[in-house]
């Protein structure tokens, strides 16, 4: 009997031990899996910038509103693109295939109803930068229901949504769009751009009223806005909401705070993840510090009210457009008579206007320069790199003859990468018959993507690099270390908490069998995968041995 009890006890102990060991093993595996999950890192994001009206027409029923039927100059009227068009391409997986994890699109708030000629022919506010009512969406772009659906679907795919904030100016004055009251805006003088004062307290161009963002005098709502809201049946709601905002914040009812309130409402209502701020250097920098404070409050409020929809613990992200800011300037922008640190006034990143000139140089120079600056003078911040955009008339590859090189340099350089819609498909930036920046704003070339083999090859290259960047925060946010000068090989390492990501990039390599020096980046015998070709390789004597038909390798540990 004692023997039976002893045997039974042993079996129970053995079963318990095995169960405990298995549970411990499962906990270890789960913990490891959780630790190794690729986090989203803003500083290494792959951002896609599109002009809402020029990307894709998802709803032809909203193409004409407010009698906007005047004849315009070429590419200066509404072309039909809308939020539903973005949703359709999101559903098709277009952004995911490109490795995009942030979508920024031009403003969708209600624009002036009429058109104007600013010297480049009759134009409508298709671009979104001529606001008439910050509290409403322009029907040409879609509805708030559309915006809600876009944010929800993007988040489901791990993609963040960034809107475009304009505080500096209203839309131009037209026969049907009256000027805002004198307490709100100035209509002269025109900016001279030689010092701080004549860059901020002035109008960018004639007939573009400049919001008095420096004003400390309280103002009432514009009569036209009161009349509009009453006609739409939402006056009482809007006024009550303003009362709550000003009571909570204690801010005076000055122009900038009205607009800050209206813009941050989109965070509270929809849970957008970031704002790109337009014409930042044309306002006092303190405007943006207050803006960021209210963005953070609204984002926290949205997270509190929508706990099941929160993606992660990342803060609300803000990117500044300070025209002609260069990464070499570090944290400061020089007006000539005054230097301003916009990073200390509400921004976590700034658009880097220097990148397109740096892109004329070798990979080794670019990668090391950006890694050194971002991990020293700009540590804790970032820059948004671009090669073409909607208002830069001297893009890196204006004739689209260097689309492959463009992708390699943009997507593999440290910092946030901005793909301007059509970069990935060589959309033409030279359109005959256009004036000014209209040539940069043609409709997305979807037909070429479908039928043109050369376009498809270019797109394939962008997709491979984009996906590698999205899968590896180290590409954009890591520390670059040169391993070999010729052929050029470098490693990138990013560490945050318990998470570490390391890759090796090789460029201008021989096609076929190759040995890539990896130094001590990967251990001897490590199994590697090339993110570009999908081929596998092994580390032997400090070199990755792999056979691919390409001259580029993007090495990662095989999972």
Please tell me whether residue 557 adopts helix, strand or coil conformation: strand
Q: How many CA atoms lie within 13 A of 349 on its CB side?
A: 28
Give me the residue label for tokens 């911040």.
381
- Whether 82 is catalytic is no
- Whether 188 is catalytic is no
Report which of 126, 143, 151, 153 is spatially closest to residue 61, judged by C-alpha positions. 143
Dump strand ranges (E) for 51-177.
102-105, 109-111, 116-117, 122-123, 131-137, 160-165
Among the listed residues 238, 321, 423, 424, the single catalytic one is 321
The phi and psi torsions of 509 (rounded to 5 degrees) equal -90, 165
Q: Report DSSP letters for 117-152, one per residue.
A: ESSSSEE-STTS-SEEEEEEE-TTT--HHHHHHHHH
Cα Rg of the chain (Å, integer): 26
- For the chain, give the number of residues: 559
Among the listed residues 79, 177, 278, 530, the single catalytic one is 278
Contacts of 119 (CB under 8 A, 6+ apart): none
Alpha-carbon dihedral 103, 106, 108, 110, rounded to 10 degrees = 170
SS (H, E, C) 460-525: HHHHHHHHHHHHCHHHHHCEEEEEECCCEEEEEEEEECCEEEEEEEEECCCCEEEEEECCCCCCCC
Residue 380's region, left for phi above 0, alpha for psi from -120 to 50, else beta, is: left
Query: Which are the catalytic amino acids?
Result: 278, 321
């Amino acid at each position: 009997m004692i023997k039976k009890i002893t045997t039974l006890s042993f079996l129970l102990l053995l079963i318990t031990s095995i169960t405990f060991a298995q549970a411990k093993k499962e906990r270890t595996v789960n913990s490891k899996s959780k630790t190794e999950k690729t986090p989203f890192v803003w500083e290494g994001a792959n951002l896609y910038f599109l002009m809402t009206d020029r990307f894709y027409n998802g709803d032809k029923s909203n193409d004409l509103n407010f009698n906007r039927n005047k004849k315009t100059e070429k590419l200066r009227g509404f072309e039909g693109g809308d939020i539903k068009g973005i949703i359709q391409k999101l559903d098709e997986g277009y952004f995911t295939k490109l490795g995009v994890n942030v979508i920024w699109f031009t403003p969708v708030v209600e624009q002036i109803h009429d058109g104007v000629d600013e010297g480049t022919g009759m134009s409508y506010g298709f671009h979104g930068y001529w606001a008439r009512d910050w509290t409403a969406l322009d029907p040409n772009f879609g509805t708030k229901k559309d915006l809600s659906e876009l944010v929800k679907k993007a988040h489901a795919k791990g993609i963040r949504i960034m809107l475009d904030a304009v505080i500096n100016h209203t839309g131009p004055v037209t026969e049907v769009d009256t000027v805002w009251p004198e307490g709100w805006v100035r209509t002269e003088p025109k900016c001279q751009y030689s010092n701080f004062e004549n860059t901020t307290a002035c109008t960018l161009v004639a007939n573009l009223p400049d919001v008095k963002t420096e004003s400390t005098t309280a103002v009432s709502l514009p009569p036209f806005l009161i009349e509009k809201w009453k006609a739409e049946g939402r006056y009482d709601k809007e006024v009550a909401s303003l009362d709550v905002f000003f009571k909570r914040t204690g801010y005076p009812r000055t122009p900038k705070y009205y607009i800050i309130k209206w813009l941050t409402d989109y965070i509270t209502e929809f849970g957008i993840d970031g704002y790109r701020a337009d014409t930042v250097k044309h306002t006092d920098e303190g405007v943006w510090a207050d803006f960021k404070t209210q963005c953070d409050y609204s984002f926290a409020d949205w997270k509190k009210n929508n706990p099941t929809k929160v993606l992660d613990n990342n803060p609300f992200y803000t990117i500044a457009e300070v025209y002609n800011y260069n990464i070499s300037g570090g944290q400061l922008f020089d007006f000539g008579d005054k230097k301003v640190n916009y990073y200390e006034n509400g921004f976590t990143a700034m658009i880097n206007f220097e990148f397109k000139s740096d892109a004329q140089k070798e990979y080794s120079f670019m990668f090391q320069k950006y890694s050194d600056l971002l991990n020293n003078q700009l540590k804790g911040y970032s820059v948004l790199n671009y090669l073409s955009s909607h208002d830069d008339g001297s893009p890196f590859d204006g004739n689209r003859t260097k689309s492959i090189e463009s992708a390699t340099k943009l997507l593999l350089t440290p910092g946030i990468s901005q793909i301007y819609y059509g970069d990935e498909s060589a959309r033409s930036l030279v359109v005959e018959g256009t004036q000014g920046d209209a040539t940069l704003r043609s409709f997305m070339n979807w037909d070429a993507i479908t039928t043109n083999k050369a376009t498809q090859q270019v797109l394939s290259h962008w997709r491979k690099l984009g996906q590698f960047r999205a899968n590896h925060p180290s590409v954009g946010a890591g520390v670059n270390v040169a391993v070999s000068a010729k052929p050029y090989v470098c490693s990138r390492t990013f560490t945050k908490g318990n998470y570490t990501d390391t890759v090796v990039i090789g460029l201008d390599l021989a096609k076929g069998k190759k040995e890539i020096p990896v130094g001590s980046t990967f251990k001897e015998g490590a199994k590697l995968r090339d993110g570009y070709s999908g081929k596998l390789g092994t580390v032997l004597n400090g070199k990755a041995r792999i056979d691919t038909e390409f001259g580029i390798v993007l090495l990662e540990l095989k999972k």
